[in-house]
Amino acid sequence: MCEYIGLDVSLKETAISVRRDGNRVWRGKCPSKPSAISEVLRRRAPAAQRIVFEIGPLSVWFFHALSKEGLPAICIDARHAKAALDMAPNKTDANDADGLAHLAEVGFYREVRVKGFDSMLTRTLVAARTRLVRIATELSNQIRGLMKTFGLVVPRRKGSRFEEEVRRLLSGQEDLASILMPVLEAWRSVRTRAAELTRQVLATARQSDACRLLMSIPGIGAITASAFVTAIEEPENFRKSRSVWAWLGLTTRRYQSGEVDYGGHISRRGDAHLRGLLYEAATVVLTRTRADSDLRHWGLRLRETIGFKRAAVAVARKLAVIMHAMLKSGEPLQRAGAAPT
């Protein structure tokens, strides 16, 4: 006999439901720790066939920890599961666990690929660096805005020159300086920490053959290359390179019903951070890079017909295809033959 388990995971407790031969045989709760869940399942479901839980903040930890214990852990798409779980008349953790166990038994779920710990470590590094850069930008903008109220306009400067200008304008303004100097100190501290993480990202990218390969593409730097490699992990995860742009939410939505059939904006599904990085890289290709490539010429021609933003999205799609094809072939851009014509 096979048993099918559904786990509704929360930060403190996890609801567990066990089904066998079409019936629920046990359900309960335990602390949200893989070791505690493993102990309960070995006691209550020794012949576990599938252990299903939704993707969430703890899903990477749960998947790898349960798999290490030899349990058949499966992480599924939360949006796909929601359609089935919403059919229950009452929304409770126990009912959600029952619904997930039922999905595990009938096999009606969409499994999600769970990234490895090494990939998640690099993604955490990139995400932390991005957050610090944004905080530093917000603080500098806040300083500019507050000083404008008192007629002190900070010229467009970056880094240490920005700090020098702020200090120069605040000289003789003791009352205002007592308010803004702590903000300026916070900006400098955040900027220093962001620079430290940037150096870590660069060091990690230089040690990766895949990242160095992708960085040979004009407009692709260490941040974008690291984010792409850790998101894709193995090129074989995608059968076709064109599937990558759909996975990243760069395909247009479509609505068709009867006589109505039209396309809309991009779906914006998947990794929003990586999608934004590819759009930034496409912008660099169209505006800043001096490298002569088929991709740049194609994007510039497209910009003349459909506008800059749509052309940048199209170039981002092509970049996703090219980068995946390069990872798959292991060849640099000039020999990969992946550039569009």
What is the 3-state secondary structure of the chain? CCEEEEEEECCCEEEEEEEECCEEEEEEEEECCHHHHHHHHHHHCCCEEEEEEECCCCHHHHHHHHHHCCCCEEEECHHHHHHHHCCCCCCCHHHHHHHHHHHHHHCCCCECCCCCHHHHHHHHHHHHHHHHHHHHHHHHHHHHHHHHCCCCCCCCCCCHHHHHHHHHHHCCCHHHHHHHHHHHHHHHHHHHHHHHHHHHHHHHHHCCHHHHHHCCCCCCCHHHHHHHHHHHCCHHHCCCCHHHHHHCCCCEEEEEECCEEEEEEECCCCCHHHHHHHHHHHHHHHHCCCCCCHHHHHHHHHHHHHCHHHHHHHHHHHHHHHHHHHHHHCCCHHHHCCCCC
pLDDT of amino acid 200: 97
Over range 148-155, report the average pLDDT: 92
- Whose tokens are 């102990």? That residue is 39
Radius of gyration of the chain (CA): 25
Model confidence at 341, pLDDT cuts 50, 70, 90, reads: very low
Q: How confident is the model at residue 289 (pLDDT cuts 50, 70, 90)?
A: confident
**pLDDT beyond 50 at 123:** yes
pLDDT of residue 333: 75
Q: How confident is the model at residue 245 (pLDDT cuts 50, 70, 90)?
A: confident
Q: Across residues 111-116, what is the average pLDDT? A: 91
pLDDT at position 304: 93
Q: Is 105 helix (H, G, I), strand (E, B) or coil?
A: helix
Share of the chain above pLDDT 70, in %: 98
Is the pLDDT at 273 greater than 60, yes or no?
yes
Average pLDDT over residues 319-335: 86
Kindly state the percentage of the chain with pLDDT values over 90.
Answer: 73
pLDDT at 261: 75
State the average pLDDT over residues 69-78: 93
Q: What is the mean pLDDT of the chain?
A: 90
Confidence class for position 334, pLDDT limits 50, 70, 90: low
Mean pLDDT of 158-183: 92
Tell me what pLDDT residue 336 has: 38
What single letter denotes the amino acid at residue 106? V
Predicted local confidence at residue 337, as pLDDT: 44
